[in-house]
Structure 1
Amino acid sequence: MNEKEAVVFPGMGPSNFAAVGRFMVLDPFARRRIAIADKVLGYSLLDRFYEADDDYAECVQVAFMVNSVALADRAAAEGGMRADVCAGPSFGQKAAAYWAGSMDFADVVRMTAELARCEREYFAVQHTDVVTHSFVRVPEDRFQEYLDTLTVRGQWYDVSGRLDRGFLMLSIDASRLDELKQAISDMGGYSMYTMRPPVHAAIFDGLRRRAEETVFTRYSIEAPQIPVIADQDGRLVTTAEGMREMLLDTFDRPIDWPAVVAGLLTEGVKKMFITGPENLFRRVECTRRNFDVVNVDPKSALRALLTPA
């Protein structure tokens, strides 16, 4: 099997104007994408992003997606990237849907904004007491024992993501967050961040239905032109229905990055371009162990722009 390359659009992490604004202003690939976004949105993305004070505001989500695609543009034009396979864990699905040829870029911009509004409206009244907490370095057998005690006590939880061995995302009632953090610490683990609104849990099936009925019905989703690895279980997506299902699954199914890694390896991928303003997926052991990883982020792009030829 020939060695293949993959482009991976990362899940959304902290990204504000102070961190990526200079890239968005100076990079020609970003400027071209922003111009399209401005027309679609009917407002200046840069202006809204500059003023944003919410990590998951509509404009912040659109900016993250736009930047991820612009960085892939740069990798393809100047970094020698050829994308034989595509993946987009969690929020990265949106950029992946465009890059794989399943959706028009303008439609992805519009859909990203509409889904952001849909989620905000949903979580304003539903599951207001739920958070998703991420953490690393927990012994999985001991952590399973902790989950078993929650089950015995009749307390709800849902694993929202597995990123590597001992690296998980757990959705839980916010009133038990301190208890969870203490349990993680007692096991020798390390708490990372807590997401509000929460993500990727079966109880959010109502959000899935709302998104499907009020947003997805307005968009055409075609079969991908390059294979896509689904972030829920590593399955190969090659049909329009498969793409639509993957995009909807993000609301109520957990992400499984090790399964994505396994799917990429099955496809013969040896080199991975991670295009986006993040520092997570490129750092986990299962990524570094299996691939030659090329990180294409705003900082590296700015260095290329500002370094004299």
Structure 2
Amino acid sequence: MALATTAFVFPGQGSQKVGMLAAAHDAYAAVRATFEEASAALGYDMWDLVQNGEQDALNLTATTQPVLLTSSVALWRAWLEQGGEGPAVMAGHSLGEFSALVCAGALDFADAVRLVRQRGEFMQSAVPVGEGAMAAIIGLDDDAIVSICAEVVAAGSGEVAAVNFNSPGQVVIAGHTAAVDAAVAALKEAGAKRAMPLPVSAPFHTVLMKPAGEQLAGAVADIAIAAPSVPVIHNVHCQSEQDPEQIRELLVRQIYSPVQWTGCVQAMVERGVDKVVECGPGKVLSGLNRRIDKSLSSFSLEEPDSLKAARDGVAANA
């Protein structure tokens, strides 16, 4: 049985940290088994890296992506192991969309772990280090950000665009380094409260990722995709899809298209969702979701205590 008013959401890059999920690993056999399965798929001890590695190593895109996918799937399996019921709908932020599709039964876990490692490699290699940048813009209207980025491009500074619509008043821009710098200056002048460079070395979700998309298309063509058992709202168009070929196409388009997170959350609310469980390390999405719709109740699963609280919270008035 699905909980009709509950959504599960899965975080993307930025939620990783050395030492995460330690208590969950001790508490749940499902978490231990999931990390063992990922380690076997990739040929290295992922749990040792997560607990004892350097943060810089964990932050490498080709490492971060399989680690976060594994963490999210591990917590989903722990949720089910502890008697938690399935949600009515799922969504994931960027990489998290792959986690959602695994948990919805559309992607095989081992296939997905290998696929997102490749995705990370493709994304990192699409633009030489130093030539691309991203920045978070706080406190300015979405349309104004889009318009100013277009003006910077028209002025010949290079490519820059709004790429993550994370919540009203919080948008990430990305593109060529010089163009991002020019846009940051213009956005501050236009009244942005903050414009902060992000510690990433590639302009994710821009047209500069088209080469990565072409490579990913080849990799995605080689894996099986099934119709998801739970609707998954996609970043590209804020709708769910049942056709595996449509899902395959959206996973490729997503790599060079903006992440419409605000729209994804609004689409879930329109389906009657009032409780959202963040299935992965950290609480980044919970913070965004509250800014998108203050009526949403948010829960997280990273710690055993929070998993129990989430199970009790979503069961209340279900």
Q: Provide TM-score, normalisation by structure 1.
A: 0.85
The amino acid of 2:73's aligned partner reads V
SS of 1:281's equivalent? helix
| Shift in alpha-carbon separation, 1:193–1:73, aligned structure 2, 3 A | farther
Cα deviation for residue 248 of structure 1 reads: 1.2
Report the Cα offset of residue 78 of structure 1.
3.3
Residues 139-171 of structure 1 show CA distances to partners (whole Å, capped at 9, x for unaligned) of 446545533542442333122121122211111
Partner of 1:38: 39
* Alignment counterpart, residue 139 of structure 2, candidates 116, 137, 140: 137
Q: Deviations over 1:223-271 (max 9, x none)?
A: 1111111112211212212221221122111111121122212322222
Question: CA 1:300/1:257 → structure 2, altered by over 3 Å: closer, same or farther?
Answer: farther
Query: Which of 290, 294, 303 lines up with 2:299 in the alignment?
Result: 294
Cα distance change on mapping 1:244 and 1:23 into 2, 3 Å:
farther
Quick check: 1:71–1:298 contact (8 Å CA) kept in 2? no
Aligned residue for 1:12? 13
Give the whole-Å Cα distance in 2 for the aligned partners of 1:56 and 1:192: 20
What secondary structure does 2:31 align onto? helix
2:210 is the alignment partner of 1:205: yes
Mapping 1:189-228, distance limit 5 Å: 189-194=193-198, 195-213=200-218, 215-228=219-232
Structure 1 range deviating more: 146-155 or 68-77: 146-155
1:244 paired to 2:248: yes
RMSD across aligned C-alpha pairs, in angstroms? 2.7
Give structure 1 stretches of 5+ with no counterpart.
305-309
Closer/same/farther in 2, CA of residues 181 and 31 from structure 1, 3 Å limit:
same
Aligned length: 299
Moved more, 111-120 or 157-166: 111-120
Q: State the secondary structure of the residue aligned to 1:212.
A: helix
Tell me, yes or no, if structure 1 residue 271 matches structure 2 residue 272.
Answer: no
* Alpha-carbon distance in 2 for matches of 1:237, 1:278: 28
Q: Secondary structure at the match of 1:233?
A: coil
- Report how far residue 47 of structure 1 moved: 2.9
SS in 2 for 1:276: coil
Is there any run of 5+ residues in structure 2 with no aligned partner, and where?
310-318
Would you say the 8 A contact 1:230–1:236 is kept in 2? yes
Q: Is the 8 A contact 1:258 1:286 kept in 2?
A: no
Instruction: Describe the SS at the equivalent of 2:134.
Output: strand
* Aligned twin of 1:307: none
SS of match in other structure, 2:87: coil
Cα offset for 1:98? 0.6
2:239 to 214, 221, 235: 235
Query: Percent sequence identity over matched residues?
Result: 21
Code of the residue aligned with 1:211 in structure 2: it is L
